[in-house]
A and B are shown apart, each in its own frame.
Chain A
């Protein structure tokens, strides 16, 4: 079974630039999550999708972050404009209704300079 795919693996941008991350979940997993993990901390949920609908985006900084899930499969997370404090690893995870736990991708390490 193929895992959760994320790209790019690394990204370095200047503050105020924009950036986008891509995630392809495990086939058949209806639920998709984006997490932000700042160095030394646990992952923090940004947004949860169920198929192509948003279930929870209460911790998403909506003035600069946006996310979509096209046709209930792939998802993109965008930051515009980026700030220095956005430097973190962005993790994507998927699940089959939570029953079998959660599978994470390798993450995208973002550095904002």
Chain B
């Protein structure tokens, strides 16, 4: 059974800092890994999707890397802003028998960026 762990659970930083959020998983036979952002009381917004054959993906100030062999992914946020304050969730998908894909989530990292 896939287990996903996110560290740290919470983070509070001043505006402008570069941040690293960590996601680790127990089963390295993954199909893809997706990072989401969740604002309070809202649904999940996709940030970056990394396929199992890829090493990293970038979007604006966000960069996500994937190391399948070590079971790790990191989300790097450059020059953090107060608007980045949210919970960041990592979802790891495995290919189940029959061709279905099921994402398993970590508990998330709660980020606060203060001015």
**How close is B40's CB to chain A, nearest CB, in angstroms?**
10
Give the chain B neighbours of A107 by CB distance below 8 A.
42-43
Chain B residue, CB-CB nearest to A49: B100
The answer on a CB contact under 8 Å between B46 and A102 is yes
A48 to B94 CA separation, bound complex (whole angstroms): 14
Give the chain B neighbours of A75 by CB distance below 8 A.
none
Complex interface bits, B92-107 against A, C-beta within 8 A gives 1, otherwise 0: 0101101111111111
Give the chain A neighbours of B101 by CB distance below 8 A.
31, 95, 97-98
The answer on a CB contact under 8 Å between A106 and B43 is yes
A71 to B107 CA separation, bound complex (whole angstroms): 33
Q: Interface residues of B, CB < 8 Å — how many?
A: 29
Question: Which parts of B38-77 form the interface with A (CB within 8 Å)?
Answer: 41-46, 49
Chain B residue, CB-CB nearest to A109: B41
Known: A42-B4, A91-B43, A106-B43. A98 touches B93 (CB 8 A): yes
Question: Which parts of A12-66 form the interface with B (CB within 8 Å)?
Answer: 31, 33, 35, 40-45, 48, 50, 55-56
The answer on a CB contact under 8 Å between B108 and A48 is no
Q: Which of B43, B93, B105 contacts A42 (CB 8 A)?
A: B105
Give the chain A neighbours of B80 by CB distance below 8 A.
none
Classify the interface of chain A: helix, strand, loop or mixed: strand
A72 within 8 Å of B (CB atoms): no
A89 to B46 CA separation, bound complex (whole angstroms): 18
Known: A102-B34, A107-B43. A42 touches B106 (CB 8 A): yes
A33 to B93 CA separation, bound complex (whole angstroms): 13
A89 to B98 CA separation, bound complex (whole angstroms): 29
Chain A residue, CB-CB nearest to B100: A55
Give the chain B neighbours of A76 by CB distance below 8 A.
none
Q: Which of B42, B46, B99, B107 contacts A41 (CB 8 A)?
A: B107
The answer on a CB contact under 8 Å between B49 and A98 is no
Complex interface bits, A86-113 against B, C-beta within 8 A gives 1, otherwise 0: 0001010101011011111111010000
The answer on a CB contact under 8 Å between B105 and A101 is no
The answer on a CB contact under 8 Å between A56 and B102 is yes
Give the chain B neighbours of A48 by CB distance below 8 A.
100, 102
